[in-house]
Amino acid sequence: MRRSLQRHWYAYAMVAPVVVVLAVLVLYPLAQGIWFTLTDINESSIANPVLDRPASYSFVGLRNYLNVLSGDGSYGAFWGTLVRTVIWTASCVVLTYGVGLGLALLLNRPMRLRSLYRVLLILPWAVPVFISAFAWKFMFNSQFGVINQLLGALGLGQPVWLGQTDLALVAVVIVNVWVGVPFMMLALLGGLQSIPADLYEAAEVDGATPWQRFRDVTLPGLRSVSGTVVLLGIIWTFNMFPVIYLVTGPAANPNTRILVTYAFERFFSGASRDYAVASTYGVLILSVLLVFATFYRRALRRQEAFA
């Protein structure tokens, strides 16, 4: 230990500031957050120095977990919400990846106006998410929104997009895919450009069809980039808050409720500021993601070992 300290002291000194920040701002709050899930802390029992009020919450054991995991409606119908979160995450990531890969393949060839297309296609990433959310909320409006006007002009139905139906979930998925495609596209484009051109030439010489070239050269070449961006996409989408919160409005729509938006609802919405339940949701979300990420990385590594 001492030897390691002697040899690496400068490395430790350089790392120290960030470790301190992580300890104070992440690890300590995390520990406290886990502790809160075992209490009945809420707006009226949290310590508030401004009101000169000491903390008055108490230990309740695993009651919060039992309440939440029972799937009871008054605790956010956990299992139903989890299923909706998974559907939301899967459809967003699959669509974003598919569209992103398609556009990257189109852009990855010499042609006219290529850089113009590139600049236009990444605009959704450049605009702050809260602005995009407002723009789509405006366009999805059932009476004056441009989307329904367009559907009407084409003689199609004019649905209420953001009402209390599953259509609202479709709408927020569309918004999130629109927001997420540019990052996928650029990351995959970078991956495509790093595939050596002679691999394609060799495949062509061997008489491979375009589909075979895609399957046997492009996809394996993209494996490491794909593994990373899909993992990032899943984590970001699972935790995606602003799109749903701002598009469906602060008065939460149960049809677009995912785990994080419900946690925020419990933390923030006027009537029931139940900090204990909000924390319980936070810990459960984190557990789901950690378990998933562990399996994902293991699967990825196994795949690499076989390749």
Partner 1 sequence: MSIETLQAPVVNIPVRHKRSRARSVGLHAALVLASLIAVFPVFWVLVTSFKPDGRAVAPTIRLFDESSLANYGDVLSGQQGDFLAWVANSVEIALLTTVIAVFLSATTGYAVSRFRFPGSRKLLLSFLVVQMFPFAVLIVPLFNVLLTLGLQGTSIGLVLVYCTTSVPFCTYMLKGYFDTIPADIDESGRVDGLSPFGVFWRLVLPLARPGLAVTAFYAFLTAWGEVAFASAFLSASDESKTLAVGLQVFVQQNRVEWGHLAAASILVAIPAVAVFYLVQRFLVAGLAAGAVKG
Q: Which of 90, 215, 249, 303 binds partner 1 (CB under 8 A)?
A: 249
User: Which of residues 60 and 289 has its CB atom nearest to partner 1 in the complex?
Assistant: 289
Cα dist. 121→105, 107, 214 in Å?
13, 10, 23
Among 60-68, 71-79, 88-96, 137-145, the segment contacting partner 1 (CB under 8 A): 137-145
> In a 10 Å sphere around its CB, with 0-12 CB exposed, 13-18 middle and 19+ buried, how is residue 275 labelled?
buried
User: Which of residues 8 and 298 has its CB atom nearest to partner 1 in the complex?
Assistant: 8
User: Which of residues 90 and 120 has its CB atom nearest to partner 1 in the complex?
Assistant: 120
Q: Which of 196, 209, 219, 241 binds partner 1 (CB under 8 A)?
A: 241
The answer to whether residues 253 and 162 touch, using CB atoms and an 8 Å cutoff, is yes
Closest CA to 221 of 240, 205, 202: 202
- How many residues touch partner 1 under the rule CB under 8 A: the total is 104
> Least distance from C-beta 80 to partner 1, angstroms?
18
User: Which of residues 29 and 220 has its CB atom nearest to partner 1 in the complex?
Assistant: 29
Q: Which of residues 188-207 bind partner 1 (CB under 8 A)?
A: 190-191, 201, 204-205
Q: Which of 52, 113, 157, 305 binds partner 1 (CB under 8 A)?
A: 113
Q: Which of 129, 167, 195, 208 binds partner 1 (CB under 8 A)?
A: 129
Say whether 44 sits in a helix, a strand or coil.
coil
Q: Is 154 in the site for partner 1 (CB under 8 A)?
A: no
Q: Which of residues 265-304 bind partner 1 (CB under 8 A)?
A: 267-268, 275, 278-279, 281-283, 285-286, 289-290, 293
**Helical H segments across the chain, by residue range:** 2-22, 28-36, 63-69, 78-107, 114-121, 123-126, 129-139, 146-153, 167-193, 197-205, 210-213, 219-221, 223-238, 242-248, 259-268, 275-306
Q: What is the DSSP letter of 250?
A: S
Q: What is the DSSP letter of 39?
A: B
> Least distance from C-beta 70 to partner 1, angstroms?
19
> Least distance from C-beta 71 to partner 1, angstroms?
18
Q: Which of 86, 178, 199, 254 binds partner 1 (CB under 8 A)?
A: 178
Q: Which of 108, 117, 158, 296 binds partner 1 (CB under 8 A)?
A: 117
What gap in Å lies between CA 305 and CA 195, rounded to an integer? 20
> In a 10 Å sphere around its CB, with 0-12 CB exposed, 13-18 middle and 19+ buried, how is residue 176 labelled?
buried
Q: Which of 90, 120, 219, 299 binds partner 1 (CB under 8 A)?
A: 120
Q: Is 36 in the site for partner 1 (CB under 8 A)?
A: yes
Q: Looking at the chain, how many residues does it have?
A: 307
Among 89-97, 155-163, 214-222, 235-243, the segment contacting partner 1 (CB under 8 A): 235-243
Q: Which of residues 51-80 bind partner 1 (CB under 8 A)?
A: none
Q: Which of 235, 252, 254, 296 binds partner 1 (CB under 8 A)?
A: 235
User: Which of residues 24 and 66 has its CB atom nearest to partner 1 in the complex?
Assistant: 24
> Least distance from C-beta 99 to partner 1, angstroms?
8
What gap in Å lies between CA 163 and CA 142, rounded to an integer? 9
Q: Is 187 in the site for partner 1 (CB under 8 A)?
A: yes
What gap in Å lies between CA 148 and CA 278, rounded to an integer? 37
Residues 6 or more apart whose CB falls under 8 angstroms from that of 130 comprise: 242, 246
